[in-house]
Amino acid sequence: MRTTVDARDRGPAERLVERRAMADEAAVARMLRRLASEIVEKNGGTGGLALVGIRTGGLHLAERLVGLIEGIEGRRPPLGAVDITLYRDDVFQGLPRPEIGPTELPFELEGATVVLVDDVLYTGRTVRAALDALMDFGRPRAVQLAVLIDRGRRELPIQADYVGLAAETAADESVKVFLTEAGHDRDRVAVRVREDEERP
């Protein structure tokens, strides 16, 4: 049985090449502004609201959303980060030397409405791991999910409450979000494939 692995789970020996662009810098900015507005509107402001970025891809996006929400409401919601390394269902298979980062939740989790933030929603396994990690620290009133890209092909019954862009992708493709905070020259989203799978 063939297992499809997303780009963040592939080993360094598998070189990925870009197949096509999905969003440029302006599109990423528009998506984030819309996500921030929808989060505020759905929750009636920022009271009791906190954003938590998933460290594998969502933390920089969560930081930006917090700033955008502050610009809309004049109040900055608390920001946290969750590390999912030890909660992954492939931690001892796909990650021979797992690197564990800190989970930081500098707010009272009990009674809070937490918006989990990630860059790409794919199988749903990353979000499941994040939920498990979050629940080990307390019981929020509600958990919502915001993602920049929903690429479909779900393996678990998990859906996002806020989506920047939904686009169906092929099983052999991966979606990569490039952000300046991660050292890239500009914000953009690209669809990539393994080099040996690329066609002229």
Kindly provide the residue ranges of all beta strands, DSSP E only, lying in the chain, ordered along the sequence.
16-23, 49-54, 79-82, 113-121, 142-150, 162-166, 173-178, 188-194
pLDDT recorded at residue 91: 56
Confidence of residue 88 (pLDDT cuts 50, 70, 90): confident
Q: What is the pLDDT of residue 100?
A: 77
Q: pLDDT-derived band of residue 157, with 50, 70 and 90 as boundaries? A: very high
pLDDT (tens digit per residue) in 176-194:
999 999 999 999 999 999 9
CB under 8 Å to 145, separation ≥6 — which residues? 115, 116, 118, 121, 127, 158, 159, 160, 161, 162
Q: What's the pLDDT score for residue 195?
A: 85
Confidence at residue 89, expressed as pLDDT on a 0 to 100 scale? 76
Which has more pLDDT, 156 or 197? 156
Helices (H), 124-184: 125-135
- pLDDT value of position 6: 42
- The pLDDT value recorded for residue 196 is 78
Rounded to 5°, the CA angle 108-114-118 comes to 130
- Could you say which of 3.40.50.2020, 3.30.360.10, 3.40.50.300, 3.20.20.10 is the CATH number of the domain covering 17-197? 3.40.50.2020
Q: List C-alpha distances in Å: 46 to 53, 68, 77.
A: 17, 12, 6
Q: Mention every residue, 6+ apart, whose C-beta is less than 8 A from residue 8.
A: 56, 57
Q: What is the mean pLDDT of residues 112-141?
A: 96
Q: Does the pLDDT value for residue 72 go beyond 50? A: yes
Nearest one of 102, 33, 105, 44 to 69, comparing CA atoms: 33
The Cα–Cα gap between 57 and 45 comes to 25
> Is pLDDT at 64 greater than 80 in this prediction?
yes
Residue with the larger pLDDT of the pair 157 and 8 = 157
Which whole number is the average pLDDT over 20-38?
A: 98
Please list the helix, strand and coil fractions of the chain in percent, rounded to the nearest 5, in that order.
30, 30, 45
Digit-coded pLDDT (tens) for 94-126:
555 556 789 999 999 999 999 999 999 999 999
Average pLDDT in the chain = 89
